[in-house]
Structure 1
C-alpha cells in the first residue's frame, strides 16, 4: 500500500513539474539583410571659402555675406525621384549625441543665431530619371560679426520609401545627412555650462530624475563626462546615481540628462542632486541642486511607469495555469482515493464471505 502511495505521489509531481516548467517555444525567421540604399546619390560642391578639407561644408563667412552652396543630386534609376530636404540646427539629445536631423528637441535660450533662420532651401526637389540636378542652399549671414560657430545639417530622404517586411526581414528607409559649419573668425570660444533645473519625469516610460543644463556658448564641448548622485534633502545616502562618458554638446544647446530610478516607485518628498560635469580638456562644472517631487507627480509617473505596470499587472495566464494544475491534482487524488476505497471494499467483502463460510462449517 505504501509503495502504491509513493508511486502515485511521484506521478503527480512529474505532471506538476511538466506543466509548470515547460517553456513556450518562440520562432523567428532570420537572415542576412542587404542594404540596397536610397534611389539617389549626392555630391558636395565645395566653394572657395571651404575652410577645412572635410566631408561636409565648413565655410568661412563674413558679416552680412550672402552665398549659395550647392549639392548635386543624381538619380540613376528609370523613375523620377522626389527628395524631401530639411535644414536643421544642431542639438544635443539626452545621450550626449549631436542631432543634425529632424528632431523634437528644444532650442536653447542662448541660441542667438539659429542655423535654420540663416540657411534656406527648397523643402523638396524632383530628380528626373538618369539625371543630375543642383540643389541650391541660400546662406544669409547676420549683419553683426560673431565669434564661434553656427552649426547645422542638411537632411535628405527619398519620398515614398516604405518600411515593409520582405521575406521576414525589414526593409529600412535610407537618408543622407550633410553637416554645415559657419564661422567668421579663428577666435577660440570655450564652452560654458549652466544648470537650468532638476525635476522628476519619465524617460522611455520609466521613472527618472532629469538634469537639465545648457551649453550657452557657440562652441562644441567634446569628450564630456556627467556624474550624478541623487540623495534625500537632509541625507548623504545615495539613492540613485549614474555616470556617462564620451558625450558631446552642440553649440548653444541644452541636454536633458536622465538618472534612472531603476524600476523603483517614485516617492514624493524633498531631494537634492549633486552634479559633476567634466571635459577631457580640463573644464569642470559642479552643482548642488534641491528639488521636490510632489504627490501629484509621483502618482502620475507611477501610473505611467511600464516597469511598475508590469509588476502590478495580474498575470491571468499564470492564474489559469495554477487553477488548471489544482483541478488536475484534485481529479488525480479523487481517482486514487476512489480506487483504493474500491479495493478496500472488495477486500472487506471477500474477508466477510470467508468468515461466514467458516462459521457455517
Structure 2
C-alpha cells in the first residue's frame, strides 16, 4: 500500500505542475491594457464622423492636436504620449511610432510640432487627461497630405525596475494605442505612386531573400495593397515567388519588400518582376536585372541560419515524464502481483 500511495502522490504532483504551467501560460497571454485614447476633433476637421484627425489648415496657421487619455485601472499609471511621422514598415503596414524607417521628403509632422513631441504623464486611478501638441503649418502651400500619428503606451522607466526584480527570463509586450493625423492646406488629393529603388540578395530574418526597396514619393497613402514578386534565373526558370495582401503604404515613404528563398542563390544573372495593386484600382509594375556576385553569395551565406532547428527540449521533457510514469505503473503492478502471490 505504501508503494501505491507513493505512486499516486507522484502522479498528482506531475499533473499539478503541468496544470499550473498551462494556467500560468494562459494568464500571461492576457495582457493588462489599462488605458484608452480618444481623438478630439479640431474645429477645422474635414469629417467629424472619423475616429482620427483629418484637418484642413491654412499655410502658417498655428493649431492644437489633442487626444484624451483614460486610465481605467485601479492604480496610478505612467504613460508616454508621442506625436510621430507615419512611415511604412517592411511588412507593408503604416507605423505611427518612432522607428528606423525614414521619410523621403519634407514637410513632415515631426517638423511641425512646437515643443516636446514625447510627453510623459502620470494619471491617478480611474482618471482621464487631455494631452495637447502645438503645431505650426508650413508657410508654403503643399499638395496632398502630411501624415503622422499620436500614440500612447506605458512609460517603461516606471516599470523596468519591477521587471528586473523578477527572476528568470521574461518577455514584456508593449501595447501601443495609435490614431492617425492627416493635415492638409488645400482640398483634393494627389495620386500616390510606387517606384523601384533597388533589389538585391540579402539576409532577412536569418534566411536568404531578394530584398526589393520601393518608395511612394507622393503625398497620399495607399490602402488595400496586393503585391506579387517573381524571381527567375538566366534561363527563365522560376526560382522564387511571393505575394502579400491587405498592405498599407504611407506618403513619401521608403520600405523593403522581401521574397524569401529556399537557399542562397548562386552567383549569376537573375531577373525580378514585381507588381502591385491598390483597393482603388491603381496598378504598378517593376522589372530589375539582379547580378549576384561571389561576394554577395558569401556575405548572404555567412549571415543566415542554414537548416538549424532548435533542440526540442519540450518534447524531451514530455517523453521523459511519460517514461517515468510508465515505469512507476510497472513498478506498482509488479508490487501488487508480488503481494498477491505472497498472499496465495
TM class by smaller structure? 0.7 to 0.9
* Partner residue in 1 for 2:67: 71
Cα deviation code 1:102-131 (max 9, x no counterpart): 221232x3x221111113445233335255
Residue 238 and residue 296 in structure 1: after superposition, are their counterparts in 2 closer, same or farther (change >3 A)?
Answer: same
Report the alpha carbon displacement of residue 230 of structure 1 after superposing the two structures with TM. 1.0
* Partner residue in 2 for 1:31: 26
Q: 2: distance between equivalents of 1:236 and 1:259? A: 17
Q: 1: distance between equivalents of 2:77 and 2:32? A: 16
Matched residue of 1:116: which SS?
helix
Correspondence list, 1:348-359, <5 A: none
Report the alpha carbon displacement of residue 190 of structure 1 after superposing the two structures with TM. 0.9
Correspondence list, 1:130-149, <5 A: 130=125, 132-149=128-145
1:126 aligns with one of 121, 124, 127 = 121
* Partner residue in 2 for 1:276: 275
Length-normalised TM-score, structure 2 = 0.73
Cα deviation code 1:4-43 (max 9, x no counterpart): xxxxxxxxxxxxxxxxxxxxxx9952435444313x4443
Larger radius of gyration: 1
Correspondence list, 1:101-250, <5 A: 101-107=97-103, 109=104, 111-120=105-114, 121-130=116-125, 132-159=128-155, 160-161=158-159, 172-232=173-233, 234-250=234-250
Length-normalised TM-score, structure 1 = 0.70
Q: 2: distance between equivalents of 1:97 and 1:248? A: 5
The Cα RMSD (Å) is: 3.1
Q: 2: distance between equivalents of 1:287 and 1:299? A: 27
Report the alpha carbon displacement of residue 63 of structure 1 after superposing the two structures with TM. 0.9
The alignment covers a number of residue pairs equal to: 283
The answer for unaligned runs of 5 or more in structure 1 is 1-25, 318-361
* Partner residue in 2 for 1:294: 293
* Partner residue in 2 for 1:304: 303
Residue 174 and residue 244 in structure 1: after superposition, are their counterparts in 2 closer, same or farther (change >3 A)?
Answer: closer
Correspondence list, 1:331-346, <5 A: none
Report the alpha carbon displacement of residue 156 of structure 1 after superposing the two structures with TM. 1.5
